[in-house]
Amino acid sequence: MSLQRVLFVCVGNACRSQMAEAFARAYGKDVLTPSSAGLAPAMLIPMETCKIMAEKNIDLLAHFPKPLTIFAPGQFDIVINLSGTPLRDFPNACEWKVRDPIGGPLKQHRAVRDQIEQLVMKLILDLRRKTQPRKP
């Protein structure tokens, strides 16, 4: 099975989808190729997001928000929507209900980060199970 192309989408592509992409890249490169985008991309990734991801040894300083419009709907095998808004061009997107931490305290950013890390790990484990050969 080839690597699954996964797109993570949130509103600003500054926190949630960036975290998901970074965790997927760090933990799942054997089963997926991640990207991320936003419905209304922010100007930059907040320092809070960079700081809490650095606590997990993941560097986001070179990352930047990207608009969803740069990606074609058929370009991905899996689309994960963290925005809370339906994606009309991606009707089969999986919904992950994750609170937007923008404007909240670092404690809230960390809780969101940890929730996303768990969701990404579950996705990776599910993909690994699908790629393992079946025993006779």
Residues 6+ apart with CB under 8 A from 70: 37
Please compute, for residue 99, the number of CA atoms within 13 A of its CA located in the half-sphere on the CB side: 13
Give the 3-state secondary structure of residue 10.
Answer: strand
Rounded to two decimals, the pTM is: 0.94
Overall domain count for the chain: 1
pLDDT, one tens digit per residue, over 54-94 is 999 999 989 999 999 999 888 999 999 999 999 988 888 99
| Residue 74, pLDDT score | 87
- Per the CB < 8 A criterion, the answer to whether 20 and 116 are in contact is yes
Specify the CATH number for the domain of residue 124.
Answer: 3.40.50.2300
Question: What is the domain extent for residue 17?
Answer: 9-76+113-130
